[in-house]
Amino acid sequence: MFRFDCFNNLVIDRVDPIVNPGKASGNLHAISGGNDFSMSADGAAMKASTHQIVYYEPRPTEDEKVIEFPAGLKMLAGDPKLREKGDSIEEKAITWVCLDYDNPHPEQQGIPNFKCPNGLRGQVNFPMCWNGIDLD
């Protein structure tokens, strides 16, 4: 799980170099991470930035090997054009949980419209499988 403080964003802008490279995005993104982020940033630019993110958790056995994502892989979750809540995998890709340790709440598809005393957790669920070939 990645956890960010709300005040540590690199930029909040209509920028999405995966879905809309070089153009304004259709929606607003809060960007955290590499300091070389831009509208046209590609994998090479992000890798050359001076910020590091570790995206794996070591396994308990020494004989298992961690394999990095292949160069050029683009991971997308959900569908930015969806406007209705439903039961498809794409519609459930982004969920929210109001953190209230005294009164737990279930995850939901929209941001809660009530106060969350212990914070708000956004969850992005990516596909579980990759065919090992396609990068898009």
pLDDT per 10-residue tile (average), the chain, 136 residues: 56 82 83 76 77 54 72 79 75 87 90 90 80 79
Q: pTM, whole model, 2 decimals?
A: 0.51
pLDDT at 74: 80
Q: What is the pLDDT of residue 1?
A: 46
**63 close to 126: Cβ distance less than 8 angstroms:** no
For 29, the token pair is: 């993104």
Q: Where are the domains of the chain?
A: 1-73, 75-136
- Residue 9 backbone zone (phi > 0: left; psi -120 to 50: alpha; other: beta): beta
Q: DSSP of 50-113, one letter per residue?
A: S---------SSTT----PPPTT-----S-TT--S--SSTTTTSEEEEE--TTS----BSS--S
Residue 103: its pLDDT value, please? 92
